[in-house]
Chain A
């Protein structure tokens, strides 16, 4: 892509943000299962989700987060949330992702599309709670395809490109509603090196008509093979996990400069251990040898939904403190 869309945020960089999900309070977990058993109405559930969303917005403001997320109190799995609303996709049975974690894997049974906006109402609600910007959060076409079964399409490419058109329409609706930062998550992008071109082709469909700052989050993969090719993905920012991969990606940046804004994951989301402020600050300083602060966003490695609320808040607080320290050195 020609020119990156600059973020319109105060200060000279090292902006703090989050990848997407936060842990749900117990009352949401209970309400969700009561809703599933039809014991409460959708409206009752929604009121609770709104309350939990507001609490997370308030918390992010309280620690000075620059670019907020709504915390996804109303979402379950990141693919299922979209699949449930998209014609052509049906919800399948439970399959395991790891350990005691399972998800409902959708099945493509017909041509996939989008009838109505899926995320816009929630984004508007979250944005109404704060003067700071809130990110729009979408799951990318490649990941929806990769994390679904396919009983309809002849080729993965056909499936991905139909999904890309649907996600593009959703992104355009977010932009029209006033959203200035749109994240299109592609955690599956690092899965198959021979399909990185397909990830790029699909992302181009999604971001081509957009005029706002776009970013994608990629995780758990063989970055060393995906880099620098992943820089072809047409977004302004790529968000990567550094804590879980112990900053080994930096070696690559020496050889091939990172040409976009970076979302710098500095806390391991799968560990109960709390990263120390000094260690996080060191991590940020290491990355600043390769990327200037005005190109860096700092966040956890991934969504924090698998942590407890206290753990998540502690990790976010330590990130904020570490950023404060490094900013003071600029």
Chain B
């Protein structure tokens, strides 16, 4: 059987060179008082539809909703969850990309879904399954400022509860795969036990959805194979920024899915298809073909649109050759 392929998160918003960047213009017009929130919403939905169509056209098996309306991966959630305010800008790991730090100022409470409408909107236009993406509780907590709980474990626990509700609602809305992003866990081996509990809270109420715990921007060697004990169905690892992950996956459990980030989502240089095939073959020594998903190393939003698309095309071409 052919190896599956998937997107890993957000998709670039700017259009191909020479085309009008409608969402950007609409947001600018809204700043000047010349467009409404409805105009922006329409532009977000149009862009979301393009993102889905474009991903599907590359042949990728599992698409993401592309996050057309998200500022970053935390803000849309922090805005909906009770107890959070939105703080100052900070660098998103080692990228020239920024996010706003959520600041917890009160009791964290569920106030309705944050990402379900966006998921449904994407799912309604997709012909392939859409993977929902949510931040994980450890990353959410570590990238926030806690001014209320003053206790990391309690803070993580409170976030995990609302994310559990979010995951539950996503599943109820038809999400078959839910990716839980935990890039901050790579630098926090001391949080691994806490992660087991908190991620368990997030996945605990789900019935059938496949859950993937996603790490990126580095290797997981400080976490070691214990990472694979977390209560999810699979793990996303970044083999570009973290080549040591090739060693780690020698201990990959037989019953889990490996979403393998093997094309560089952060550099424009296009990998030759045969190189991608070689990397996939190497991974097949540790993981069965039906449990290996090939993916970009992280969200493709770090790349211009044409390059992102080309990366996915090469990925699917390589997957076809590995499977053949």
Which residues of chain A have a CB within 8 Å of any CB of chain B?
92-100, 102, 105, 107, 146-147, 149-151, 188, 190-192, 220-221, 244-245, 268, 270
Contacts and interface: CB of A to CB of B under 8 A. Distances in A.
Contacts of A97: 96-98
A244 B303 contact: no
Interface in B4-23: 12-14, 17, 21
Given A94-B21, A96-B97, A244 B88 contact: yes
A24 to B, nearest CB: 14
A96 B13 contact: yes
A95 B90 contact: no
Interface of B: 12-14, 17, 21, 24, 27-28, 71-72, 88-91, 94, 96-99, 267-269, 301-307
A102 B24 contact: yes
Contacts of A190: 91
Contact of B96 (A92, A147, A245, A268): A147
B88 A268 contact: yes
A151 B303 CA distance: 13
A221 B304 contact: no
Contacts of A93: 14, 17, 303-307
A191 B304 contact: no
B89 A94 contact: no
A98 B89 contact: yes
Contacts of A95: 12, 14, 301-304
Contacts of B99: 98
A270 B304 CA distance: 25
A89 to B, nearest CB: 12
Nearest to A220: B91
B14 A244 contact: no
A191 B268 contact: no
Contact of B98 (A94, A151, A220): A220
B99 to A, nearest CB: 7
20 contacts: A93-B305, A94-B14, A94-B304, A95-B302, A95-B303, A95-B304, A96-B12, A99-B71, A100-B27, A102-B14, A105-B304, A107-B268, A146-B96, A149-B267, A149-B268, A150-B269, A191-B94, A192-B94, A221-B91, A270-B89
B28 A100 contact: yes
Nearest to A192: B94
A107 B306 CA distance: 14
A188 B90 CA distance: 12
A191 B21 CA distance: 30
A98 B301 CA distance: 11
A155 to B, nearest CB: 13
Nearest to B305: A93
A151 B71 CA distance: 28
Nearest to A105: B304
Nearest to B96: A147
3 closest A-B pairs by beta carbon, nearest first, are: A93-B304, A94-B14, A98-B98
Given A96-B14, A107-B268, 14 more contacts: A92-B268, A92-B307, A93-B14, A94-B14, A95-B304, A98-B72, A100-B27, A100-B28, A102-B14, A151-B267, A151-B268, A220-B91, A221-B91, A245-B88
Interface centre among A93, A150, A221 (most CB of B within 10 A): A93
Contacts of B14: 93-96, 102
Nearest to A99: B71
A95 B28 CA distance: 17
A97 B17 CA distance: 18
A103 to B, nearest CB: 8
